[in-house]
Amino acid sequence: MGILLVLVAAAAVAALWLVGIFNGLVGLRNAVRNAWSQIDVQLKRRHDLIPNLVETVGGYAKHERETLDAVVRARQQAIQVSDSVVDKAQAENLLSQTLRSLFAVAEAYPDLKANQNFLGLQEELTSTENKISFARQYYNDSAMTYNNKTEMFPSNLVAGLFRFERAEFFEVEEPAERKVPQVRFS
């Protein structure tokens, strides 16, 4: 009787422990998904701002068709890309680069730089770039915590049993961008 009681108690404790690990993993996985949706929101916001920007800049800088077209193409590509983290990161990095060259071009047009609408768009895009990089930072932190948990003993046993998959990092490709993740258009 006594031994049975001890066994039952031990089984109950082990079960509770497993449930705790499982719930912890679920919580972390949801945090990663939530962080990803936060990036998604900001990327969409950027896609929405670009047509307006292209129109404003096009009105003043008619001879910069090439740069403007590059931005439009990069945006189109970023919208159509598949949902995989790696593909998306690549397309969005390309878009960031073309945007930067567009703002560099705008430097040569004093009238454009004084335009209230352009200034507002510039602030919005600067901030959206920052938000993307902060969202990416938060996503990668969450992904790291989650991945650590799925790989470390003993939670990796539970993770393997219930097929908790590794989260992918949202990487910045070029070493140049790694140096300056915060974009300031000037």
Crossing angle (nearest 10°) for helices 65-80 and 2-60 = 160
Asked if 156 is part of the footprint of another protein (rule: CB under 8 A), the reply reads: no
Q: Using CB under 8 A, pick the residue from 62, 63, 163, 179 that binds another protein.
A: 179
Are 184 and 126 spatial neighbours (Cβ–Cβ below 8 Å)?
yes
Asked if 50 is part of the footprint of another protein (rule: CB under 8 A), the reply reads: no
Asked if 109 is part of the footprint of another protein (rule: CB under 8 A), the reply reads: no
Q: Which residues of 116-140 are buried (b: 16+ CB within 10 A; e: fewer)?
A: eebeebbebbbebbebbbebbebbb
Asked if 37 is part of the footprint of another protein (rule: CB under 8 A), the reply reads: no
Q: Using CB under 8 A, pick the residue from 76, 97, 145, 156 that binds another protein.
A: 145
Distances (CA, A) of 127 to 27, 120, 142: 29, 11, 22
> How far apart are CB 36 and another protein at their closest, in Å?
12
Using CB under 8 A, list all residues that contact another protein.
Answer: 31, 35, 38, 42, 120, 123-124, 127, 130-131, 134-135, 137-138, 141-142, 144-145, 148, 179-186
